[in-house]
Structure 1
Amino acid sequence: MTLPMASKNRFSRNQSDGTRRSSFSCDNPDRREIVCGCGVASFSVLLAGLLGDASPAKAQTLALPVPELDALSIRIVTDSYQFAVAPSRKMDTLSIEHFGWGISPDYPPGPTLASEFGLSMVVTSSRKGETRKTLIDFGFTAMALNNNLQLLGIQPAEIDALVLSHGHYDHFGGLAGFLRQYKDQLKPKLPFYVGGEDCFCAREWTAPPVKGNFGVIDREALAAAKLSVTAMEQPALVADHGFISGQIGQRSFEKLLSPSAMHVGVTEGSGCYPDRLPESERGPGSIPDQFRHEIATSFHVKGRGLVILTSCSHRGVVNAVRQAQTVSGIEKVHAIIGGFHLAPYPADYVRQTVAALKEIGPDYIVPLHCSGEPFYEMAKAEMPDKLVRAYTGTQLVFSGSAS
């Protein structure tokens, strides 16, 4: 469905780019049954926020076969940090290219990449001579996003689709400022995908270390940029090359933590419409996030398998992978990339996740954002040949098979 936009704005603002703040301080499912967040607080504090699906719903498989891609590259536009002198390298079918510094033989150092707690990625896919670009998530600030896009040579005019994985500020914070800077360069009616109306709810961060306002998506900026805004609760193709998972059910051992609360309602044109939410989430007041709207974005590389971008994995990285397998009908997983939301969990839980991912058997695992160092260390010990370290600016290039 296409969501209506509003024009008036009297929200308080917390950034110079105009980004809004809100006004108040899935086991192993089969293809037929699968349903339709990144804090660093301790598990003991967040345990009270464990939630589950009260009324699971069946999701559809994709109506069309997932396209096979000849090549796929993923540029990490914004992540938590950069290691400028990391050497590029080749791992079988994967090329890992790090950015380095923004320097040149012709002039002294100037602007370089900005890292922050957030995530943004640009996916370039190729199929039968056609190329598509998809921008997934927008990091914490437009300052970092716009700066990095320019340094990485990414042209907003070439973007074919925008995807927002979920309604947390560290994933949409740069969106409004990006749109304001580039709206005249974007393609007409550029598709903008979210996983449900609750993505638009205003939010509070309720977990340590600091509680407070966690922002709201600026619907006025979406309207001004003339985006084609679509909430997809079921799986769907994106830019003809990839697909979004649809809403991710909790069917594995994974437990959902709720470090934020969403405020149901619309204030001065932004927020979420109660009548588009499940009855149990229509308020009044604030309710703990269940992240029903969270989505993953995936691509099928010819002869290799699925490359799954989990973004933040509030509903579980294993659940996100199983969802992508189910809706696409493709079992082979080539790579899992993104935030795995394991930083807040205890060691035993992280170890269980590593074991589950090892059983899935991806060729590569690329932890980003909120995955946490304990996961990296455990995965390095258990799957040293599969683990890939990536940073702000890293480009991961996957090649399809010739046959």
Structure 2
Amino acid sequence: MLFRGCTCGPSPSSATRRGRFHVDDGSVQDRSSAGLDRRDALCGMGAAALWATIASLAGGAEPARAQKLTTSMPEVDSLSIRVITDSFQQVFAAPARMGNVEVQPFSLGLTDKPPRNVLESEWGVSALLQTQSGTAQRAVLVDFGYTPETLINNMAILQIRPEMLDAMLLTHGHFDHFGGMAGFLGASKGRFKPSIALYLGGEEAFCTREIVVPATPPQSYNFGALDRNALQSAGVKVVLADQPALIADHVVATGPIGERSFEHVTAPTRMSVGLKDGYGCFPEQMPEAKRTARSIPDDFSHEIAPCVNLRGHGLVVFTGCGHRGIVNTLKQAMAATGVDRIHAVMGGFHLAPEKDEYVQETVAAIKQINPDFVLPMHCTGELFTRLVEHDMPGKLIRINTGTRVVFKA
């Protein structure tokens, strides 16, 4: 499972269901054919043996590097984004058309039989990006939501199959974006295309994290880490998109998001470098300044955003949370692709915990960039949505779990 204890000796495991963590005792047994106990690898081996063992479990010591974007940004004729997981669903929302954009809500998935399953909403994000350019079609799964139960349930109802996917992308290493991954990979084993890969912004995505909850004094809780072994077991290759990179022919990952505006990093978590019970990030693959970091504030230098260039309209940018700042993200997308027009920005903007003045400044800056459409999700907050509706009339599109948004050239 995704959550593990952080010390050697008998190591706790955790199972995640509906966002609640049930801890049981017992040693962690490796799931590879070698049958090695990970605690033995971490606590009883020298550095060289440790590196070799964990590298084997992780599917290789050196992840592949993504194909760098060396030519002009590809254009597509259409882009469909299906929201698989978000915080709520509005089953009575009506279909709508705004210019070249079709908004297709999902109701209850009724058939000729009484309904047994419905879409589930929870804290977290997952979406499917489907593109078409000429006769070529591609599908990229972005993020995995909070729990595998919700992800698998919703994908089944929305008829999204693992066989459809050409690639997967994780925007950043937060549990509400990768929590459903290991369970989904396990349930989908043997069904992926042989070339399937997961794109990450860097090794830092694997680091262990703790979430800081406001209290007196502040309280910190384990916030999990990516499961390398689940990726290897499912035959999924890990590819680092630590520079602007082309994914599945049609999608470009922004690469690291620089500080290009007034925005500050919104960081409710702290990060530690190193390996604990087989989970975490390899210090040798981290920037030198972070190789010995223990419980430092996240700066999200690994955060990336996928973007698509819609023919004749410009970029559609999807953000997981926008911890590096949504304005910074849009500017990075334009710099990375050479396309200076934003058609739409969609996703979480992490403005819910920010002060009103900061949200107002953000809306003003987005208004200056002048996207055609703004589609807030997840951690954006209601104040931002109201301000966009008032200050940028005709540009706001409200979406929720199950909504499919189709952008046509």
For this structure pair, what is the TM-score category when the shorter chain's length is used for normalisation?
Answer: 0.7 to 0.9
Q: Which residue pairs with 2:149 in the alignment?
A: 143
Q: Which residue pairs with 2:213 in the alignment?
A: 207
Q: Which residue pairs with 2:137 in the alignment?
A: 131
**TM-score, normalised with respect to structure 1:** 0.84
Seq. identity, % = 44
Q: Which residue pairs with 1:48 in the alignment?
A: none
Q: 1:82 aligns with which of 79, 83, 89?
A: 89
The yes-or-no answer on 1:392 pairing with 2:398 is no
Residues 226 and 75 of structure 1: CA distance in aligned 2, closer, same or farther (over 3 Å)? same
Alignment length, in residue pairs? 354
Q: For 2:213 and 2:200, locate their aligned partners in 1 and report how far apart those are by CA, in whole Å.
A: 24
Q: 1:343 aligns with which of 341, 345, 352?
A: 352
Q: For 2:120 and 2:12, locate their aligned partners in 1 and report how far apart those are by CA, in whole Å.
A: 27
Instruction: Using the TM superposition, give the Cα deviation of residue 284 of structure 1 relative to its aligned residue in structure 2, in angstroms.
Output: 4.6
The yes-or-no answer on 1:255 pairing with 2:260 is no
Structure 2: which 5+ residue stretches go unaligned? 1-9, 25-66
Q: Which residue pairs with 2:377 in the alignment?
A: 368
The DSSP-based 3-state class of the residue aligned with 1:145 is helix
Q: Which residue pairs with 1:188 in the alignment?
A: 194
The yes-or-no answer on 1:163 pairing with 2:169 is yes
Instruction: Using the TM superposition, give the Cα deviation of residue 16 of structure 1 relative to its aligned residue in structure 2, in angstroms.
Output: 5.8
Residues 289 and 298 of structure 1: CA distance in aligned 2, closer, same or farther (over 3 Å)? same
The DSSP-based 3-state class of the residue aligned with 1:206 is strand
Q: 1:264 aligns with which of 240, 264, 273?
A: 273
Letter in 2 for 1:213: N
Letter in 2 for 1:141: T
Q: Deviations over 1:16-63 (max 9, x none)?
A: 69x99999xxxxxxxxxxxxxxxxxxxxxxxxxxxxxxxxxxxx9831
The yes-or-no answer on 1:287 pairing with 2:296 is yes
Letter in 2 for 1:360: I
Q: For 1:391 and 1:284, locate their aligned partners in 2 and report how far apart those are by CA, in whole Å.
A: 38
Q: Which residue pairs with 2:53 in the alignment?
A: none
Letter in 1 for 2:237: S
The DSSP-based 3-state class of the residue aligned with 1:367 is strand
Q: 1:227 aligns with which of 230, 236, 257?
A: 236
Instruction: Using the TM superposition, give the Cα deviation of residue 68 of structure 1 relative to its aligned residue in structure 2, in angstroms.
Output: 0.7
Calculate the aligned-residue CA RMSD, in Å: 2.1
Letter in 1 for 2:298: D
Instruction: Using the TM superposition, give the Cα deviation of residue 246 of structure 1 relative to its aligned residue in structure 2, in angstroms.
Output: 0.2
Name which one, 1 or 2, has greater alpha-carbon Rg.
2
Q: For 2:288 and 2:23, locate their aligned partners in 1 and report how far apart those are by CA, in whole Å.
A: 22
Which aligned runs of 4 or more in structure 1 are off by greater than 6 angstroms?
A: 19-23
Q: For 2:203 and 2:297, locate their aligned partners in 1 and report how far apart those are by CA, in whole Å.
A: 15
- Judge conservation of contact 1:299–1:306 (CA < 8 Å) in 2: yes
Q: For 2:265 and 2:362, locate their aligned partners in 1 and report how far apart those are by CA, in whole Å.
A: 13
- Judge conservation of contact 1:318–1:356 (CA < 8 Å) in 2: yes
Instruction: Using the TM superposition, give the Cα deviation of residue 279 of structure 1 relative to its aligned residue in structure 2, in angstroms.
Output: 2.1
Q: For 1:180 and 1:20, locate their aligned partners in 2 and report how far apart those are by CA, in whole Å.
A: 19
Q: Which residue pairs with 1:71 in the alignment?
A: 78
Q: Which residue pairs with 2:114 in the alignment?
A: 108
- Judge conservation of contact 1:22–1:202 (CA < 8 Å) in 2: no
- Judge conservation of contact 1:22–1:214 (CA < 8 Å) in 2: no
Q: Deviations over 1:343-393 (max 9, x none)?
A: 111111000000011011111000000000010111111012000000000
Q: For 1:380 and 1:21, locate their aligned partners in 2 and report how far apart those are by CA, in whole Å.
A: 42
- Judge conservation of contact 1:305–1:333 (CA < 8 Å) in 2: yes
Letter in 2 for 1:73: S
Letter in 2 for 1:14: A
Q: Deviations over 1:236-285 (max 9, x none)?
A: 00100010000101120001122101121112322101111122212253
Compare relative contact order (CA 8 Å, sep 6+) and give the higher one, 1 or 2: 1
Q: For 2:360 and 2:121, locate their aligned partners in 1 and report how far apart those are by CA, in whole Å.
A: 28
Structure 1: which 5+ residue stretches go unaligned? 1-8, 24-59
The DSSP-based 3-state class of the residue aligned with 1:221 is helix
Q: Which residue pairs with 2:15 in the alignment?
A: 14
The DSSP-based 3-state class of the residue aligned with 1:13 is strand
